[in-house]
């Protein structure tokens, strides 16, 4: 109720704005957050802010007006509470509808139930989410047709892993992987997969909504586009009048996708000689569409306009805009509406692109030193030699090897936002009467975060086999 807190926050907002104006930020985003706000009722603050915003009420003070003060943990809690509230509203609506139609309600109506055939993974997933769009904001539950078992989280994670792996296969043609940047980007030539792009957006939205970490390699600029705009009050359809995913990209943004082309563009901008004579460029771009090269004009009559010292900045801006916006506009629009059909929420207004990426993909920092404390064991105990050797080897691993181990066991090389305390990690002893124990490799069930480890007779053999497994195998003992 005092004046000093609002004044202090508004002063900090000036510093934050100045920090945002600097490329690369002098002060990291996480250090701008006020940790003590983790102990206030952020949910109440959010719903008050949301209420004021929806009613157009001017004045007053809420912390959500200045989202930089919240840590990513606090924002995730707010988003989770908002998601839970929407889940409850949708479940209640379904129940009321049943009563109005004089039908007996059942527990299934409280969930988004997807029934998937493994042999038709993409086809069934498309059909199910299309048929059940009104249920997307319910708790997700997956059933593989013809298989027994209740989904307690493992089947849902398995569905995500299998489906994303298939969609991101090069043969599928929806996304292009660039080795130099290590990221996927939308394939502008893929015009027949618009429904599948929408499905990938829905998958990412469901992951946020159901707190599941995905192993997706998109550049940060993808999340900038997903938050442009962060929230649309009108219905989430392609008929919306609002332009979505259109940003003003920079050369730094483009460098995260195509560092090779970005390097050439930077060279063009810095060149001291005669650009027109030495480069021979015009305002057009050639793009490979499978086996054919397609020519696109960057501006009207671009093929007749030479790039010169005077207009090279315009050329670079138009070329970057082409790759990041125009060339993939239909694909990204479908992707955007898929994501926001699940995650449409004022809470997204609190996030910056880096935070949205963390919510979907987890944190990049990987330190497994405390993993042993949360590990559960099956058919073995932490006192057995091969278990002790395993943890010794993990402790000695460099961070890149630890990330490979995490990917091998969990399906993602990133950690949850809340750290290891939010993970489950299991080690089960496996053996075989059919072959020598030294011939076995470690395996994993990524849907259960379970490592299957043979009881090797020496530490050296364990280390050799473990490294061989995590470097050369996907780990997936579930297909």
Say whether 447 is catalytic. yes
Strand 292-297 relative to strand 284-289, pairing: antiparallel
Q: Tell me which residue of 471, 461, 463 sits closest to 391, measured CA to CA.
A: 463
Cis preceding linkage at 229, omega within 30: yes
Place of tokens 């994501």: 339
Cα distance between residue 110 and residue 407, in whole Å? 32
Cα distance between residue 364 and residue 357, in whole Å? 10
In contact, 253 and 259? CB cutoff 8 Å: no
Residue 454 burial (CB count, 10 A): 21
Active-site pick, 7, 366, 447, 473: 447
In contact, 327 and 296? CB cutoff 8 Å: yes
Contacts of 228 (CB under 8 A, 6+ apart): 244, 245, 246, 247
- Taking CA atoms, 12 is separated from 16, 74, 350, in Å, by 6, 18, 16
- Count of positions (residues) in the chain: 479
Q: Tell me which residue of 152, 155, 150, 153 sits closest to 116, measured CA to CA.
A: 155
Q: Which two tokens stand for residue 68?
A: 């930089």
Active site (catalytic) residues? 447
């Amino acid at each position: 109720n005092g004046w000093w807190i609002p004044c202090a926050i508004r002063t900090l907002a000036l510093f934050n704005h100045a920090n945002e104006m600097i490329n690369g930020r002098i002060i990291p985003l996480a250090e701008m957050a006020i940790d003590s706000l983790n102990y206030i009722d952020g949910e109440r603050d959010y719903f008050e802010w949301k209420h004021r915003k929806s009613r157009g009420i001017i004045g007053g003070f809420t912390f959500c007006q200045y989202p930089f003060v919240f840590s990513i943990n606090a924002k995730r809690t707010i988003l989770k509470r908002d998601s839970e509230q929407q889940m409850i509203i949708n479940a209640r609506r379904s129940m009321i509808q049943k009563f109005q139609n004089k039908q007996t309600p059942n527990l299934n109506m409280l969930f988004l139930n997807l029934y998937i055939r493994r042999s038709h993974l993409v086809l069934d997933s498309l059909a199910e989410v299309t048929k059940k769009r009104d249920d997307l904001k319910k708790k997700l539950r997956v059933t593989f047709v013809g298989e027994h078992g209740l989904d307690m989280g493992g089947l849902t994670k398995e569905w995500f892993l299998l489906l994303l792996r298939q969609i991101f296969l090069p043969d599928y043609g929806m996304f292009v992987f660039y080795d130099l940047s290590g990221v996927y980007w939308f394939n502008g030539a893929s015009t027949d997969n618009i429904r599948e792009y929408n499905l990938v957006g829905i998958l990412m939205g469901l992951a946020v909504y159901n707190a599941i970490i995905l192993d997706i390699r998109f550049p940060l600029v993808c999340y900038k586009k997903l938050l442009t705009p962060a929230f649309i009050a009108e219905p989430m359809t392609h008929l919306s009048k609002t332009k979505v995913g259109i940003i003003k990209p920079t050369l730094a943004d483009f460098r995260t996708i195509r560092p090779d082309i970005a390097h050439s563009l930077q060279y063009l901008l810095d060149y001291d000689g005669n650009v027109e004579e030495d480069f021979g460029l015009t305002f057009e771009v050639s793009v490979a569409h499978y086996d054919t090269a397609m020519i696109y004009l960057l501006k009207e009559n671009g093929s007749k306009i030479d790039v010169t010292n005077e207009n090279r900045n315009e050329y670079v801006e138009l070329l970057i805009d082409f790759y990041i916006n125009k060339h993939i506009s239909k694909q990204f629009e479908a992707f955007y509406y898929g994501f926001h059909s699940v995650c449409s929420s004022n809470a997204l207004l609190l996030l910056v692109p880096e935070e949205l990426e963390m919510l979907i993909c987890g944190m990049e920092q990987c330190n497994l030193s405390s993993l042993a404390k949360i590990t559960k064991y099956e058919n073995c105990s932490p006192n057995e030699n091969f278990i002790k050797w395993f943890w010794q080897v993990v402790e000695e691993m460099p961070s890149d090897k630890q990330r490979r181990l995490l990917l091998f066991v969990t399906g993602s090389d990133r950690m949850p936002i809340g750290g290891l305390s939010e993970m489950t990690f299991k080690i089960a002893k496996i053996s075989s009467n059919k072959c020598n124990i030294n011939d076995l490799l470690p395996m994993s069930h990524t849907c259960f975060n379970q490592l299957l480890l043979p009881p090797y007779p020496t530490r050296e053999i364990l280390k050799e086999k473990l490294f061989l497994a995590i470097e050369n195998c996907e780990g997936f003992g579930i297909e």
